[in-house]
Amino acid sequence: MDLRPYQQDIKNKIYRSWKEHRAVMATMPTGAGKTVLFCSIAKDCVDRGGRVLILAHREELITQAANKISGLGLETGIIKSGYTAEYYKRVQVASVQTLIRREVPYKFNLCIVDEAHHDQHDNAYGSIRKRLTEANPDMFTLGVTATPVRLNGSGFKDIYDILVKGITVKELIRQGFLSPPKYMTFPYVHLGKVKKTGGDFNLKDLSEKFRSKIPAEFLVNDYLRLAKGKQTIVFAIDVAHSKEIEAAYMNAGIRCAHIDGETPDRERQSIIRNFANKSIQVVTNVGVFTEGYDCPGIEAVQLARPTESLSLYMQMSGRGLRPADGKENCLILDRANCIATHGLLESDRDWELGKSSGQKSKNKIVAVDTSTGKQYDIEYLPQDINPEYIVLKELDTSMLNRMMMETALAKSFLRMKYLAESRNFKHKWIWYKLIAQAKNSDEAEFISQLYVKEYQYKPGMVKFLMEEYRNLKKAG
């Protein structure tokens, strides 16, 4: 199997990590080809005489992995209700929900966990891994995910030994492996206090409040104005909401279908085929297309499901970033405050294996109205703003903070200079006075540079003053 250079790079990192660790988590963005990556690793294991188990929790993920593995010429069994068990085959793709109730008569050398952000010690994944490890303590584990983050921020150190990071969304776009998102933002939806369940919004409460603020007809009007004719996936809050959206689109003469977790497999596959061949223009869903659905023909993603989950936001929006012929970008129609809450998809994120509270973008997102040149905080867009003229910009918060810090210190320096001159104080009094207020070494260095520049001291004086600052800090 030929891998793209960035796929081969992370594969090499995984193998190097396995020299010291048994359990490795690897992250690459949605659309980067995680299935291709772990199938290549599975083939390596089988070629060495090993057995591989791939764990997944959705029909689409299971069939996708099984088809790719079979395409490599490997015999693949599927452990899932409705399939005949073929345990003798060296690769098994298993439904988590099925395998938790079954015993497998073979040991595995490698366990691959797809969408590993669902993996926890105290859920079905954890129970299965425990059984597998007891059967073979030498088994290696690979968890793959686009979003190594939990809603509660607890991280994955209790399961995996190391996190291996792959290419970023920004770099995949630059290299042409993903389509750039084009954001269509709307005035912030103030929902009031929404109840929480498991760290995210309670769906019943959220549905009532969101639907009262943003009727389904608003979503249809957004589509007609901004994405008319584009193949569009809509993410709704619950089944009633999704069916309401479906009805609104159909009433507007737009071919639309609804899918949820209870939609029969045959009907679901029919809708997916009709969407792929453009017999259906819009598919609205509840929790079905967040993971494992690959359709490069998606030209727009309509977010009608507010969420506190960074992972869910990135999984939903990332569905539309796969490139296709003639596709310049993917529209992200955000009525759900997702961009304001989580930042841009291509924002740099410092993924960590431990606590994940810092994995939201630290940079500030501002909206620029290109028709007027005015700049707005994304949460305070005027109600009559035209989304077609809005461009989102990401400002480096650390740079903004430094500029504010330097401006404030420069003003303080000028005030101290005036005071020193009016009272005939020695000019080093200014440095001592300001340095006592410095919160950190960055501020101290800037004060020292101001002082040296103003009084024409040699540049080396800054180093001397910083040493003096450190001595003063030690002395208390």
Q: What is the pLDDT of residue 396?
A: 66
Q: Are residues 261 and 120 in the same domain?
A: no
CA distance 69 to 64: 9
- Note whether 323 and 295 are within 8 A (CB): no
355 falls within a domain: no
Name 392's bridge partners: 367
250 falls within a domain: yes
Calculate the CA 431 to chain-centre distance. 45
Backbone angles phi, psi at 77, to 5 degrees: -100, 155
51 falls within a domain: yes
173 falls within a domain: no
Q: Are residues 80 and 121 in the same domain?
A: yes
pLDDT in tens for each of the 476 residues of the chain?
A: 689 999 999 999 999 999 999 999 999 998 899 999 999 999 999 999 999 999 998 877 888 888 888 888 888 999 998 899 999 999 999 999 999 999 888 899 999 999 999 988 888 999 999 999 999 999 999 999 999 988 777 789 989 999 999 999 999 999 999 999 999 999 999 999 999 998 899 999 999 999 999 999 999 999 999 999 999 999 999 999 999 999 999 999 999 999 998 999 889 889 999 999 999 999 999 988 877 677 788 999 999 999 999 989 999 999 999 999 989 999 999 999 999 999 999 988 888 887 654 455 666 788 888 988 888 888 889 988 899 999 898 876 665 566 667 788 888 888 888 888 888 898 889 888 888 888 888 888 888 888 888 888 887 888 888 888 888 888 76
SS3 track for the chain: CCCCHHHHHHHHHHHHHHCCCCEEEEECCCCCCHHHHHHHHHHHHHHCCCCEEEEECCHHHHHHHHHHHHHCCCCEEEECCCCCCCCCCCEEEEEHHHHCCCCCCCCCCEEEEECHHHCCCCCHHHHHHHHHHHHCCCCEEEEEECCCCCCCCCCCCCCCCEEEECCCHHHHHHCCCCCCEEEEECCCCCCCCCCEECCEECHHHHHHHHHHHCCHHHHHHHHHHHCCCCCEEEECCCHHHHHHHHHHHHHCCCCEEEECCCCCHHHHHHHHHHHHCCCCCEEEECCCCCCCCCCCCCCEEEECCCCCCHHHHHHHHHCCCCCCCCCCCEEEEECCCHHHHHCCCCCCCCCCCCCCHHHCCCCEEEEEECCCCCEEEHHHCCCCCCHHHEEEEEECHHHHHHHHHHHHHHHHHHHHHHHHHHHCCCCHHHHHHHHCCCCCHHHHHHHHHHHHHHCCCCCHHHHHHHHHHHHHHHHC
- Note whether 85 and 79 are within 8 A (CB): yes
Residue from 316, 358, 353, 354 nearest 335 by CA: 316
Instruction: Kindly report the number of other CB atoms within 10 A of residue 323's CB atom.
Output: 18
272 falls within a domain: yes
Q: Which of 114, 141, 168 is the last residue of a domain?
A: 168
Q: Are residues 418 and 317 in the same domain?
A: no
- Note whether 80 and 119 are within 8 A (CB): no
pLDDT tens by residue, 160-197: 999 999 999 999 999 999 999 999 999 999 999 999 99
Q: Which of 168, 194, 229 is the last residue of a domain?
A: 168
Q: Are residues 368 and 409 in the same domain?
A: no
**Block residue for tokens 């529209």:** 331
Residue range of the domain that includes 44: 5-168
358 falls within a domain: no
Q: Are residues 270 and 145 in the same domain?
A: no
Domain count, the chain: 3
CA distance 188 to 182: 18
40 falls within a domain: yes
Q: Which CATH number belongs to the domain containing residue 27 in this structure?
A: 3.40.50.300
Scored b (16 or more CB within 10 A) or e, 392-423 reads: beeeeeeeeeeeeebeebeebbeebbeebeee
Whole-structure pTM over 0.85, yes or no? no
Q: Are residues 187 and 336 in the same domain?
A: yes
Q: Are residues 146 and 90 in the same domain?
A: yes
Q: Are residues 238 and 375 in the same domain?
A: yes
- Note whether 111 and 144 are within 8 A (CB): no
Instruction: Kindly report the number of other CB atoms within 10 A of residue 140's CB atom.
Output: 21
Q: Are residues 201 and 328 in the same domain?
A: yes
Q: What is the pLDDT of residue 436?
A: 87
Q: Are residues 81 and 37 in the same domain?
A: yes
pLDDT tens by residue, 96-118: 999 999 988 889 999 999 999 99
174 falls within a domain: no
Q: What is the pLDDT of residue 143?
A: 96
Q: Are residues 390 and 405 in the same domain?
A: no
Tally the C-alpha atoms within 13 A of residue 223's C-alpha that lie toward its C-beta: 31
Q: Which residue type is seen at 109?
A: N
pLDDT tens by residue, 421-434: 888 898 889 888 88
Q: Are residues 123 and 233 in the same domain?
A: no
